[in-house]
Amino acid sequence: EAQVTQNPRYLITVTGKKLTVTCSQNMNHEYMSWYRQDPGLGLRQIYYSMNVEVTDKGDVPEGYKVSRKEKRNFPLILESPSPNQTSLYFCASSLGLAGGYNEQFFGPGTRLTVL
């Protein structure tokens, strides 16, 4: 089944404790992206990757890191989480941006709470 998987689905942690949220897709997509979704603010892009070893900042990159060493994986790293990073996080992937049509396939989401 074609899908984007994220782990963990739920995470409660404390301020300053480094964490990684994994994201993997099995559709051979070149483009991958991380979003956070907050009430009243909608989906905001954190980082994206056009292909392996190519990453770039989205709208809200502060406090996050990413890496794209393999095509299928795009982990999101919070080196020192803070309470304002409490949110619902989505990973997404698509074939790419060339040509314009860019249906993004979303993972199930990771609900993160930072105490």
1 lies in the binding site for another protein (CB under 8 A): no
Chain Cα centroid distance, residue 39:
18
Residue 52 touching another protein (CB under 8 A):
no
φ, ψ dihedrals at 8, nearest 5°? -80, 170
**Sign of CA pseudo-dihedral 36, 40, 42, 44:** negative
> Which residue among 22, 45, 73, 113 contacts another protein (CB under 8 A)?
45
CA 19 to CA 109: how far, in whole Å? 16
> In this chain, which of 63, 65, 106, 113 binds another protein, going by CB under 8 A?
106
Name which of 64 and 90 has its Cβ closer to another protein.
Answer: 90
Binding-site ranges for another protein (CB under 8 A): 4, 33, 40-43, 45, 48, 58, 90, 92, 97-104, 106-109
